[in-house]
Amino acid sequence: APFSSLRSPCSPSICSDDLLATMAKAGDQYEMRTGNIWNFANRDDVATVRRLLSEGVPADLTNKVGWTPLHAAAAGGAERVLTLLCQRGVEIDPRCHAGRTPLMDAARHGHLACVKAVVKSGARVGLVDAAGLCALDQAKGEAVRSWLSHRTPGGAEAAPPRNPKLSRGKKPPDHRDHG
């Protein structure tokens, strides 16, 4: 049997060679060694990302959902990795399968420093995803929304005015006549 040399915590009656073969193939999704660069990019592990890039893992490698390491870094708030990738000249506005760019992912997770870094590197703030939403539409947090609203075409008008009473989780007053 091809996997008979593998030790398994399973009893022999439960884990067949076919099951072990299936388990071994589960991690074999890519035709090249990836080093799971997206995970390290997301966690801002700049040393490991730098090592993987030096070992030949492409800086623009896409995973099953179309994310590049830049998407992962932006979504994780990993400013150091994001800066490294931008300095390496990766495409700044790649699209995942949902049509989102790294800027949109940084905005939707509320990472203002990453939003600023990708815009500084040339990200286009007016792009929309497959649902027709731009980074401002997806922005989490007042600081990200405010910063983007001044850089998005029509953004200052599109951003709703801040209501301090609503921002603390209170319901808006009911002005209907209860008479």
> What average pLDDT values come out for the chain (179 residues) when binned by 10 residues?
36 44 44 77 96 93 93 97 95 96 97 96 94 95 94 57 38 40
pLDDT at position 29: 53
Distance CA 92, CA 49 (A): 17
Distance CA 146, CA 149 (A): 5
Distance CA 116, CA 125 (A): 11
* 23 and 7 Cβ atoms separated by less than 8 Å: no
pLDDT at position 121: 95
pLDDT at position 163: 36
84-117 per-residue burial string, b: 16 or more CB within 10 A, e: under 16? bbbeeebebebbbeeebbbbbbbbbbbbbebbbb
pLDDT at position 15: 44
Determine how many CB atoms are found less than 10 A away from the CB of residue 67.
24
Distance CA 165, CA 65 (A): 39
pLDDT at position 132: 95
